[in-house]
A and B are shown apart, each in its own frame.
Chain A
Amino acid sequence: SQTIHQWPATLVQPVGSPLSLECTVEGTSNPNLYWYRQAAGRGLQLLFYSVGIGQISSEVPQNLSASRPQDRQFILSSKKLLLSDSGFYLCAWSVGTNTDTQYFGPGTRLTVL
């Protein structure tokens, strides 16, 4: 069966510090991968998606970047965090077409102080 992992689970970082969040999927090959952000009490905002190694599409230009160095690994990064980067970051995967079900990881709660 497929599983998706995210780490760390929680993170508190000072403004201006770098960020690296990791997401890995097990039990499937060539998944589509997604990064979402959820601000407190709000809906989900798609940040990036990837349909293959090295292929990244950005939905919202901002202080973040994503990379996919391996088939089942998706990394969200920032060189300098802003206060507005605080939120709950969710990674998701799907297979097949873009209309297939997305399955979500446990999330990382990021607080920037």
Chain B
Amino acid sequence: AQKVTQAQTEISVVEKEDVTLDCVYETRDTTYYLFWYKQPPSGELVFLIRRNSFDEQNEISGRYSWNFQKSTSSFNFTITASQVVDSAVYFCALSEAGVNKFYFGSGTKLNVKP
């Protein structure tokens, strides 16, 4: 079974629309970390956020916000007032304590049209 599921393969929105990228994870550990990365067309993965399993507070950073819900094993990412520069592939990832690897989702490609 996949540890991290990003069911949305591709999303297209028009600039200024809000968009939410879904991430569902699976783990039996009580201590784990969740991440979001952005991969623009240039290819380099850019780190966006890291959250630990004990901190369920939602986080906002400018137009970006993250909703962490342990009850549904979800860590969703919302972009408010999307811009063309937000066009990229976004990856969600899980890291478990004691396991030296990240489990990446398959990514969601976001197309923001002007």
Contact = CB atoms under 8 A, between A and B. Distances in A.
Interface of A: 32, 42-44, 46, 49, 51, 57, 59, 88, 90, 92, 97-99, 101-107, 109
B105 A43 contact: yes
Contacts, number: 54
Interface in B92-114: 95-102, 104-107
Contacts of A32: 100
Contacts of A90: 43-45
Contacts of A105: 44
Contacts of A109: 43
A106 B102 contact: no
A49 B101 contact: yes
Interface in B38-66: 42-47, 50
Interface of B: 31-33, 35, 37, 42-47, 50, 91, 95-102, 104-107
Given A44-B104, A49-B101, A107 B43 contact: yes
Given A43-B91, A98-B95, A103 B100 contact: no
A99 B43 contact: no
Nearest to B42: A106
Given A99-B32, A99-B96, A106 B101 contact: no
Contacts of A49: 100-101
